[in-house]
Structure 1
Amino acid sequence: MELKISGIGDRGFLKDERIGFNVIKDCELKFYQLFRTNFGSSGGFYNRAKSAYWFAPKKVKAGDKIVVYSKSGTDNSKVNQDGTTTYWFYWGLSEPIFTDEKKGIVLVEINDWELSRNK
């Protein structure tokens, strides 16, 4: 996986709650999703996600930083002095994710998908 979770800030406070990621290797963000989930007592997580965030198509480079805020906002980015880029994305949730130790996210890399339309 070319993205790694680097940290979680301001847990439980929607206004500032955010998840940080480091880009380990050049990649395309559209192949990554975040799932909001609950963790079981045995350390695993439930396969019924409460909500999901799918990154829009965006090529990122090794060394870039990604921040996903739980709240609504406008996606943006900034080129840093060292040539890397920091990207800010907004999940658009109406409540925080990290309200207790049993709640969190799962980062998933997607290799392929198939669409189904209601015809």
Structure 2
Amino acid sequence: MPGIYLAAILASTVGVLLIDRRWRLAAWAARGRTLAAVGIGTAFFLVWDAVGIATGVFVKGDSPLLLGIDLAPHLPLEEPFFLAFLSYLALVAWAGAQRMLERRRTDAAASPSEAAR
């Protein structure tokens, strides 16, 4: 069924957006920096894809899940959406991990007897 892959990427993006909104990890903490980081990450990976396509390392396989629209040879329409999702997911995961580590440090400093055990 054409479009399922893009729909899955968009649905996953909504899920990450909800996590981000709930804990204010990236876009809700610093919208401009998040947009810049996702844009730069997406552009970097599109260049990476272009090099891979030009050298014959990356080729697009046939899948009934793709829309069938190519932005360039071997570069389906879904690829920039996936790369933006990947960049955003990495940013949210990083911010979440940083927050968890910071909370552990704060908890350990507040309760030295617990840290000694």
**TM-score computed with the length of structure 2 as normaliser:** 0.23
More helix by share: 2
More strand by share: 1
Q: Which has the higher contact order (CA 8 A, sep 6+)?
A: 2
Larger gyration radius, structure 1 or structure 2: 2
